[in-house]
Amino acid sequence: MGMAAALKRDAVVILRIDGEELLEFSKNPTFETDVLSIFSEIGLPDGSLQDYIMEAFVKLTVDQGMPPATDPWVVSNIVEPALQSLGDVSQQPVSDETFLTEFTRAIESVAQRLKEQPAIVAHSQNTFDGNGIKRLLSNKFELQKTLNFALESVPKDQNGEISNEYFRGALEILASSAGLPPFSAIDQMDNITTEALKMFEMHDRKMVNEEEFKKLLTQLLETIMQHLEANPISVSINSIVHESDTSSSTVLQPSSP
């Protein structure tokens, strides 16, 4: 729900994925390099060839013509039937040459399945580049209101002072107002936040008053904003749309900015 709220301002595009773009991807001059790069990223030392192929499909995106391969409908109607048509893909160990050959065949089979039964995908993309934080910081009234709301939610001692260990909790409370995703939604964002927090959790004073806490929290937002301005994070959300059913499955994928 938090991720959906963070992306609610972005338009949703309905894509019909019918295997054509997947075949184009397989004929791209960089295909072999791309596939071997995917193979090197898959950490399955005891995995079978089928395990590697399944994981490789998960790493493909709608830009490459692949619907979200973790969606149950895609697995049961597209990927698994395609793998069954290949015969025995259970052997171990898996070499890069074998993987390249069999994954190419698997892509062709998946493309054929998609041609027969296209996947309808609701696609949305958002880039976290610090602009949400910049907008909040530029509106002094909104900033103070947001900081005060966060302040009300953190514990204080008998002197009204706050431990700097509550920076993370306060930041999570104001994340949506700053145009940030909730914690644990995006690994890259979590890494930036964790690094920024380390600087402030090492503050000389472990306990600070309310005004200093708000000042430091503002500086924390500025630090995160600078990180995002230098290295924006782009994320796409892909949901299979079942025309005869109201249910859907959502897949969150980081993508290159």
Contacting residues for 25 by C-beta, under 8 A, at least 6 apart: 31, 60, 64, 65, 107
Q: Do 152 and 62 belong together in one domain?
A: no
Domain hosting 33: range is 13-125
| pTM (2 d.p.) | 0.62
If one counts every other C-beta atom within 10 angstroms of the C-beta of residue 210, the result is 15
- Total domains, the chain: 2
Cα torsion 147, 153, 158, 159 to 10°: value is 0
Flag whether 215 is in a domain: yes
Flag whether 23 is in a domain: yes
> What is the tens place of the pLDDT at every residue in 102-153?
999 999 999 999 999 999 999 888 889 999 999 999 999 999 999 999 998 8
> What is the tens place of the pLDDT at every residue in 190-214?
999 998 888 776 656 678 889 999 9
Q: Do 87 and 147 belong together in one domain?
A: no
Tell me if residue 233 falls in helix, strand or coil.
strand
Flag whether 251 is in a domain: no
Flag whether 96 is in a domain: yes
Flag whether 214 is in a domain: yes
How would residue 8 be classed by pLDDT, with cut points 50, 70 and 90? very low
Average pLDDT, rounded, for the chain = 85
**147-164 mean pLDDT:** 87
Question: Could you give the CA distance from residue 97 to residue 64 in angstroms, rounded to a whole number?
Answer: 21
Flag whether 39 is in a domain: yes
How would residue 84 be classed by pLDDT, with cut points 50, 70 and 90? confident
Flag whether 4 is in a domain: no
Question: Could you give the CA distance from residue 155 to residue 161 in angstroms, rounded to a whole number?
Answer: 9
Of 91, 125, 159, which residue sits at a domain end?
Answer: 125
Q: Do 120 and 148 belong together in one domain?
A: no
How would residue 10 be classed by pLDDT, with cut points 50, 70 and 90? low
Flag whether 137 is in a domain: yes
At 47, list the tokens. Answer: 């995995």
